[in-house]
Amino acid sequence: MSEYESADEASVVAFLESWEGRDIDHIMSFFAEDAVYHNVPVAPIAGLAGIRQIFQAFLDAFPEAALDIVNVAGRTGLVFAERIDRFTTNDGRKVILPVNGVFVLEAGKITRFSDYFDLASFESQSGLEL
């Protein structure tokens, strides 16, 4: 297999890279119907409708977003992705946020996506409260 240890690792990389394209349908295509998304400092969101809503709100708040991968490691069904997320707010503020993402996949689809980051750092840089 290419440079990745598993197809799931390659899928997570493709998902993270999809954010730059800002196509919500493409972003959502990586998720299973019963997926859970959890920004660990706040409550988890279950189901595609809720995940789509929060991702769309994110796209609306940040006209530029890049999820730069520092390290990725995984095996079939489980992938860890260390990142530096870079966002620009609608009023031009820059947000640079170290993040660790944990992805659980089944049949090639994300069933659980948990992001670990410093909430205070995100809120102070963005001016938003999660």
How far is 41 from 77, CA to CA, in rounded Å? 24
Could you report the per-residue pLDDT of 93-115, keeping only the tens digit for each?
A: 999 999 999 999 999 999 999 99
Task: Give the amino acid at 85.
Answer: D
CB atoms within 10 A of CB 126: 19
User: By C-alpha distance, which of 87, 117, 86, 120 is closest to 102?
Assistant: 117
What is the CA angle 24-30-36, rounded to 5?
95
- Return mean pLDDT, the chain: 94
Residues of the chain above pLDDT 70, percent: 98
Confidence of residue 2 (pLDDT cuts 50, 70, 90): low
For the whole model, what pTM was predicted? 0.93
What the chain holds in terms of domains, given with CATH numbers, is 7-126 (3.10.450.50)
